[in-house]
Chains A and B, each alone.
Chain A
């Protein structure tokens, strides 16, 4: 059913986008609608296993992601878009493991038969991120043409987090030269937001760890890592940190508050999903892209910049 240019793809929101990342879900759908792109949610999808299942039994995690890929295929799609870095990473990892690890193939086949659905075979479905989706289905030229409220004057530090590019071997389409994404210096979000008028700053921590996995088990480490990301973004001159992952986004927001409470370190940089920034550039209202749901209140800044 997918036509090869990502205009109509299966959509895997994942658990976070139904909870803490609801604003990412709302803004992703709103941007897609505004750009004439069609997202069809996977029927009866399940959790990808996130970090937790993978840390206990990676083959179970592979099966959980393979089930979502199997349903995608059964719905007639050859492409699934996952906006969450964790979901994206796990679907990619399942694809890799099922292509390279016989034990994973065996467990996936056994559990798929037990669950009563078709066993997913690698190569049937391509997993893409929301950044791939916008970049390839629309592209910078079309974004420039469609911009109604330029992001001109907003200085953005683009933060990709760790799972969008790591480990490199599960992303064979990256690092393929011009036009492809880079694992060392990712730029798709920079490209998209620059096309929408933003001034991207040169941010040296764009793939640095935010301590997301240890937000609860070792909050102090996570708070210090996040605080360093926030202060570095401010030292780079950024007004906003743009995110493309609900875990990163929530971590930055929550630990920004915690850093002030626990460490007495206040930072002023705002945190927005790239889909929120892009949506406002396309003329959508801040409410339509759920800016009011963010803990980091960017509305005064957006008003100052003429976006609200």
Chain B
């Protein structure tokens, strides 16, 4: 469903900005296609992360969505990646909202919010790729120097 989209994180930031700024009528007119495009961009963000880590991305789905399966794969052994778990789920939720009722009165709003959610995913993962050597985000329990012994533990 989503092959062929593969965009860089920078491109995704730009594209989600465009979508968020578009007029309601323009968004509503292309609702199903935009719903799929947003979901695909979410997948591309995680594919960029997995590629940077040298991992082969799964083609499986979780709860019917490859995005959620890719998130599970990326989070394995990397606790702070769970900080974008709910963002991924919100991306799926907005995709479903748009797809469920593409002609509905809230469709343009849902597309706009879906774009902002995907943008957040892109910013978070992009930030993690940049800051990998600087240490983890707040909710991680992993120390910076996992490969080193912990000489700082004082002896009684």
Contacts and interface: CB of A to CB of B under 8 A. Distances in A.
Contacts of A217: 131, 134-135
Interface string A173-206: 0000000000011000000000000000000110
A262 interface: no
Nearest to A96: B141
A163 B152 contact: no
B131 A204 contact: no
B62 interface: no
B95 interface: no
Among A184, A208, A217, A225, which residue has the most Cβ atoms of chain B within 10 A?
A208
Interface stretch (A54-62, A67-75, A148-156): A54-62
Interface stretch (B30-38, B49-57, B112-120): B112-120
A290 interface: no
A228 B150 contact: no
Given A204-B94, A211-B137, A221-B126, A59 B150 contact: yes
Contact of B79 (A56, A167, A235): A167
A220 to B, nearest CB: 9
A268 to B, nearest CB: 17
Contacts of A162: 83, 137-139
Given A166-B83, A208-B87, A221-B131, A213 B137 contact: yes
Interface in A90-119: 93, 107, 110-111, 113-114
B98 interface: no
A204 B127 contact: no
Nearest to B124: A209
Nearest to B13: A224
A217 B137 CA distance: 11
A21 interface: no
B130 interface: yes
B90 A205 contact: yes
Nearest to A86: B138
Contacts of B124: 208-209, 211, 225
Given A55-B144, A218-B127, A213 B136 contact: yes
B149 to A, nearest CB: 10
Interface residues of B, number: 40
Contacts of A211: 124, 127, 137
A218 B116 contact: no
Interface in A111-133: 111, 113-114
A279 interface: no
A110 B155 CA distance: 8
A57 B94 CA distance: 40
Contacts of A224: 123, 127
B117 A205 contact: yes
Contacts of B134: 214, 217-218
Interface in A207-262: 207-209, 211-214, 217-218, 221-222, 224-225, 228-229, 231-232, 235-236, 247
20 contacts: A54-B143, A57-B143, A57-B150, A58-B141, A60-B152, A162-B139, A167-B79, A204-B94, A204-B116, A204-B117, A209-B83, A209-B139, A213-B138, A217-B135, A218-B130, A221-B127, A225-B120, A225-B124, A228-B116, A235-B109
7 closest A-B pairs by beta carbon, nearest first, are: A221-B127, A166-B139, A162-B139, A232-B116, A204-B90, A213-B138, A110-B156
Interface of A: 51, 54-60, 86, 89, 93, 107, 110-111, 113-114, 162-163, 166-168, 184-185, 204-205, 207-209, 211-214, 217-218, 221-222, 224-225, 228-229, 231-232, 235-236, 247
